[in-house]
Amino acid sequence: MSNPHQPSPLSYVQPTANSPWGTYLSQVDRVVPYLGHLARWVETLKRPKRALIVDVPIELDNGDVAHFEGYRVQHNLSRGPGKGGVRFHPDVTLEEVMALSAWMTVKCAAVNLPYGGAKGGIRVDPKQLSHKELERMTRRYTSEIGIIIGPQRDIPAPDVNTNGQIMAWMMDTYSMNTGTTATGVVTGKPIHLGGSLGRIKATGRGVFVTGREAARRLGLDLNGARIAVQGFGNVGASAAELFAQAGGLIVAAQDHTGTIFNAHGFDMADLMAHVKASGGVGGFPGADVATLPIDHEAFWDVACDILIPAALEGQITAARAQRILARLVLEGANGPTVPAADDILADRGILVVPDVICNAGGVTVSYFEWVQDFSSFFWSEDEINLRLDKIMAGALKHIWDTADQHQITLRTATFAVACERILTAREERGLYP
């Protein structure tokens, strides 16, 4: 008998081909032929388990009341508690948070961490808030999502525009509300509150490790390799520093403050000092004529060997994919490449190390932090970096072998490896009731 209840598209989002959830759905569709009997469960991946929308009212410093829209989405909890960051950005939407939560499910499974996937966000421009307003908003948001988070339930972490201070307020608010000192409720905390050494730079380090391994397989020497980086926040800047230490030349950088180019590579120490002092790459380098400000769109035409998108989703469009000159694209951001662009890059022989493995270093050290919090025993930075390197390089090798075996892209191979793990857990647990 045929099933009269065929799954229909979700009513609460209207994804398009290039929107975040639309991009994610098309990535799932591509993996179905490689799932064997587990394909029976694939619909599980196409709908989040739980999505919470909360109102976040706060009193502003001038006495007015402002309301912000907050979200926490738990995409899948088959393999463990939800895990994923919290983003503060004016463009945050339910659809975006859903896609980011789903990518966390895939990412955690790709590196075999015992977590499901979740993500949160507030639709706000945090730069418009004072320190105290930011604290009030963070605490109220944490209280509102407190009904679904917890050290064994769902563990937030930093993402775009959030950091250790925000995590400290979240940890404190959850702890106050539960009468505990719940260090394990968030990761990416300051070191004194149970944070882990190496966590801040972990995502950038993971981008470097996967990039180093991919470059080795391509026969691309990192010494002298030309690298362009979009997004010079925590991820992009940390990755750029590690590539520069390995002899790479950072020839272009772009963020919300501007786009800069230097054919000989920037002086990284100077650039980092400028970014720290001014809040972005724009305006660098003062008197140095070797570095030029260039047009925003010209970033995509820069002659380089490695391109690192480390900003927001949807940056590599089909049109930009036609122009990219790099041999290797390392996705430090989540969801930077739309599906049509993925096909163009593959046709042009440009290798893409996808977000769901490339930027998994952050959540991997988040996992180390969570384990350390539970055991109340803390590891050295060397030990963390070594373990991170081993997990990332090992996961990439397994994915690469899968890609070779089926003659598929690294993205589809990562989804194949991850979805097999997620759906096996799903099948073994069985349907309740």
Which positions are catalytic? 119
What is the C-alpha separation between 430 and 433, in angstroms, rounded? 9
Cβ at position 381, least distance to ligand GLU in Å: 17
84 binds ligand GLU (CB under 6 A): yes
- How buried is residue 48: exposed, middle or buried, by Cβ count under 10 Å (0-12/13-18/19+)? buried
Nearer to ligand GLU by Cβ, of 19 and 334: the residue is 334
- Going by the DSSP 8-state scheme, the letter that residue 353 receives in this structure is E
Residues 149-178 that bind ligand GLU (CB under 6 A): 157, 159
Contact region for ligand GLU (CB under 6 A) — 20-28, 60-68, 292-300, 357-365?
A: 357-365
**CA-only gyration radius of the chain, Å:** 21
Nearer to ligand GLU by Cβ, of 111 and 129: the residue is 111
Q: Which two tokens stand for residue 403?
A: 């890609």
Q: Are 227 and 308 in contact (CB under 8 A)?
A: yes
What is the C-alpha separation between 104 and 249, in angstroms, rounded? 31
First to last CA, the chain: 22
Q: Are 288 and 276 in contact (CB under 8 A)?
A: no
**Which residues does 106 contact at the CB level (< 8 Å), separation at least 6?**
117, 356, 414, 415, 418, 419, 422
Nearer to ligand GLU by Cβ, of 157 and 168: the residue is 157
Helix (H) or strand (E) holding 165: helix 164-178
At position 6, the amino acid (one-letter code) is Q
Contact region for ligand GLU (CB under 6 A) — 47-55, 144-152, 263-271, 358-366?
A: 358-366
363 binds ligand GLU (CB under 6 A): yes
Cβ at position 87, least distance to ligand GLU in Å: 8
Nearer to ligand GLU by Cβ, of 119 and 136: the residue is 119
366 binds ligand GLU (CB under 6 A): yes
Cβ at position 64, least distance to ligand GLU in Å: 31
Cβ at position 6, least distance to ligand GLU in Å: 33
Nearer to ligand GLU by Cβ, of 41 and 232: the residue is 232
Nearer to ligand GLU by Cβ, of 236 and 362: the residue is 362
Answer positive or negative: Cα dihedral of 312, 398, 421, 153. Answer: negative
Nearer to ligand GLU by Cβ, of 45 and 200: the residue is 200
Interface mask toward ligand GLU for 306-335; x: CB under 6 A: ----------------------------x-
Contact region for ligand GLU (CB under 6 A) — 38-46, 82-90, 289-297, 376-384?
A: 82-90
Closest CA to 105 of 70, 69, 154: 154
Contact region for ligand GLU (CB under 6 A) — 16-24, 81-89, 264-272, 305-313?
A: 81-89
Contact region for ligand GLU (CB under 6 A) — 77-85, 131-139, 237-245, 291-299?
A: 77-85
Cβ at position 187, least distance to ligand GLU in Å: 5
Closest CA to 181 of 196, 193, 165, 190: 193
Cβ at position 74, least distance to ligand GLU in Å: 13
- How buried is residue 139: exposed, middle or buried, by Cβ count under 10 Å (0-12/13-18/19+)? buried
Interface residue with ligand GLU among 72, 75, 83, 123 (CB under 6 A) is 83
Ramachandran bin of 85, using left for φ above 0, alpha for ψ from -120 to 50, beta for the remaining angles:
beta
* DSSP per position, 299-346: GGG---SEEEE-S-TT-B-HHHHHH---SEEE--SSS-B-HHHHHHHH
**Which residues does 26 contact at the CB level (< 8 Å), separation at least 6?**
17, 339
Cβ at position 427, least distance to ligand GLU in Å: 25
187 binds ligand GLU (CB under 6 A): yes
Cβ at position 188, least distance to ligand GLU in Å: 6
# chain residues binding ligand GLU, by CB under 6 A = 11
What is the C-alpha separation between 2 and 179, in angstroms, rounded? 52
337 binds ligand GLU (CB under 6 A): no
Q: Are 55 and 144 in contact (CB under 8 A)?
A: yes
Interface residue with ligand GLU among 362, 403, 411, 419 (CB under 6 A) is 362
Q: Which two tokens stand for residue 353?
A: 């190390």
- Going by the DSSP 8-state scheme, the letter that residue 129 receives in this structure is S
Interface residue with ligand GLU among 82, 85, 117, 184 (CB under 6 A) is 85
Using Cβ positions, the residue closest to ligand GLU within the complex turns out to be 85
Residues that bind ligand GLU (CB under 6 A): 83-85, 157, 159, 187, 334, 359, 362-363, 366
